[in-house]
Amino acid sequence: MYINGEWLHAKSEKTREIINPFNQEVIATAVEGNAEDAKTAIQAARVAFDEGSWSTMPASERGAIVNKIGSLIERDLEELAELETLDTGKTVQESREDMADIANVFFYFAGLADKDGGEVIASPIPNSESKVVREPVGVCGQITPWNYPLLQAAWKLAPALASGNTLVMKPSEITPLTTVKVFELMEEAGVPKGVANLVLGAGKSVGAELASNHDVDLISFTGGIETGKTIMQAASDNMKKIAFELGGKNPNIVFADADFETAVDQALNAVFFHAGQVCSAGARLLVEESIHDEFVEELVERTKRIKLGNGFDEDTQSGPMISAEHREKVESYVEIGKNEGAKLVVGGKRPEDPELEDGFFYLPTIFTNCTSDMRIVQEEVFGPVLTVETFQTKEEAVQLANDTIYGLAGAVWTQDLSKAEFVAARLRMGTVWINDFHPYFAQAPWGGYKQSGIGRELGREGMEEYTELKHIFRNKQPKPIKWFK
């Protein structure tokens, strides 16, 4: 753990083994912090913020430090990518792309650091001046999940630092490796002591302390809805600001006039990329009834050919689930789907390949004959499971797509631009892709409608989450008003 500029063991001296989900080998032993460690880190961040040298440092200097972190990530990209693949099982090619994205996130927010000089507004009061400025929120608690460990950390670290906050980060207890490494790089880049602190450990101890502690001014969380609700309740105790990136059950709408080859290819990628462990996975395929049979037949054929394996093998297309526990959750959803009457057309079990037997693998799975009242359609499985529904009109497609508590992302495939725009305008989601699936980048805000989140990461809006707005009014000719004689 990294607290107040020092690398420390947990006070309890407890440790946790970090497991490679491909073969269950122990790849590292991490210290296991608890609420006491979190309190120490929060105190360090509080002192660093209140002392003020980071928040009042010229923004261009802060930006230069954030930029340096991006350069160091580029320098150590291969090492970081390998760590991420060891820790999550994702393909090393995907990890390399994540690391390149992550460096860009630091570059982007570094560039924003000195761009907001505040705004002079038109005061209605004579002989006065009014301006609105943005200031850092203060001490930020940041909690991240296991599916994109460093990417989700970067979306929080870069804007928080660039806008002058101090922070305490808690990565997922099962995938801390790349986050630890990036804290080493932040130290090397010159982030002053106490400004960025790292506490490893479980959500119920370290995470809960970050959520409830009164010295934390903002809690930024990426993870599941149920955890989000718990954190929201704890955060209400001191009314800290909250920024939440939660789950999704994202529709992928394919009209009959879509380019067939591209739509099939991308429907596979939408749901099975990273074994479906993606918040924005296209887990609900809504396909126009007239092409359903042909589309599903082609999908099934290609699904059977997906190559599962070791993320370090260049021909592996998908790795394992993150843990035994998570695979069991996916398996239980497949049973639920079968019992609800959905038709299992491919997958639905663990692979039989003996080379995969030590990993937490699960075959890519497709259910047809699905209806929106089924749990398998409504709930986030967060694994390689696709449900297929049909529609006849664009209005029906929109109605089915929006029939969910989630609102993270969705896609529409058609060659008719007016139809695409009709759908895009009506989807109640933070991101809509037209004839594509999955793109996200530092310049565009990311986040959810409805129960998929509160606030935004990335883009200017992702920086603004880490600021408070202040109105400064100056009376240029103060004189007594004599209300009270």
Ligand X SMILES: C[N+](C)(C)CC=O
Ligand Y SMILES: NC(=O)c1ccc[n+]([C@@H]2O[C@H](COP(=O)([O-])OP(=O)(O)OC[C@H]3O[C@@H](n4cnc5c(N)ncnc54)[C@H](O)[C@@H]3O)[C@@H](O)[C@H]2O)c1
Q: Which does 380 bind (CB under 5 to 8 A by kind): ligand X, ligand Y, none?
A: ligand Y
- Is 74 annotated as catalytic? no
Tell me if 280 contacts ligand X by CB under 6 A: yes
Q: Residue 222, interface with ligand Y (CB under 6 A)? A: yes
Query: Is 145 among the residues that bind ligand Y (CB under 6 A)?
Result: yes
Scored b (16 or more CB within 10 A) or e, 276-297 reads bbbbbbbbbbbbbeebbeebbe
Reading phi first (left if > 0) and then psi (alpha if -120 to 50, else beta), residue 347 is in left
Give the separation between CA 37 and CA 284, rounded to whole angstroms. Answer: 42
Under the binding rule (CB under 6 A), the answer on residue 204 touching ligand Y is: yes
- Considering only residues 67, 85, 142, 147, which one is a binding residue for ligand Y as defined by CB under 6 A? 147
Is there binding between residue 148 and ligand X (CB under 6 A)?
Answer: yes
How many amino acids of this chain bind ligand X (CB under 6 A)?
Answer: 7
Residues 279, 283, 376, 412: which binds ligand Y (CB under 6 A)? 279
Q: Do residues 279 and 147 lie in contact, with contact meaning Cβ atoms separated by under 8 Å?
A: yes
Q: Name, in order, each residue with C-beta under 8 angstroms of 126's C-beta and a sequence gap of 6 or more.
A: none
CB of residue 336 vs ligand Y: minimum separation in angstroms?
A: 17
- Does the footprint of ligand Y cover residue 137 (CB under 6 A)? no
Our finding on whether 105 is near ligand X (CB under 6 A) is: no
Least Å distance, CB 433 to ligand X, is 12
Of residues 164 and 455, the one with the C-beta less far from ligand Y: 455
- 278 makes contact with ligand X (CB under 6 A): yes
Chain residues 408-437 in contact with ligand Y, contact rule CB under 6 A: 408
Spatial separation of the C-alpha atoms in residues 35 and 29, rounded to whole Å: 20
Residues 60-99 that bind ligand Y (CB under 6 A): none
d(CA 201, CA 16): 8
| 143 lines the binding site for ligand X (CB under 6 A) | no
Q: Does 397 bind ligand Y (CB under 6 A)?
A: no
Q: Record the tokens describing residue 481, joined without a space.
A: 């008003």
Restricting to residues 162-201, name those near ligand Y by CB under 6 A.
170, 172-173
By CB under 6 A, name the one of 44, 177, 279, 420 that touches ligand X. Answer: 279
The neighbouring-strand residues paired with 357 are: none
| Closest approach of ligand X to the CB of residue 247, in Å | 9
- 101 Cβ contact list (under 8 Å, min separation 6): 151, 154, 441, 442
Catalytic residue (choose from 209, 245, 288, 389)? 245
Which of the choices ligand X, ligand Y, none does residue 455 contact, using the CB cut-off of 5 to 8 A by kind?
none
In whole angstroms, what is the distance from residue 284 CA to residue 377 CA?
7
Provide the pairing of β-strand 218-222 with 139-143. Answer: parallel
Tracing tokens 């089924």 back to the chain, one arrives at: 374
Which residue number, 55 or 152, has a Cβ lying nearer to ligand X?
152
C-alpha distances (whole Å) from 206 to each of 10, 15, 34, 231, 466 are: 11, 14, 5, 12, 21
Output phi, psi for 170, to 5 deg.
-125, 110
Partner touching 179 among ligand X, ligand Y, none, CB below 5 to 8 Å by kind: none
Of 250 and 390, CB closest to ligand Y: 250
Residue ranges of E strands in 100-240: 119-121, 128-136, 139-143, 166-170, 196-198, 218-222
Could you tell me which stretch among 6-14, 98-106, 205-213, 307-315 binds ligand Y (CB under 6 A)?
Answer: 205-213
Rule CB under 6 A: which residues touch ligand X? 147-148, 151, 278-280, 440
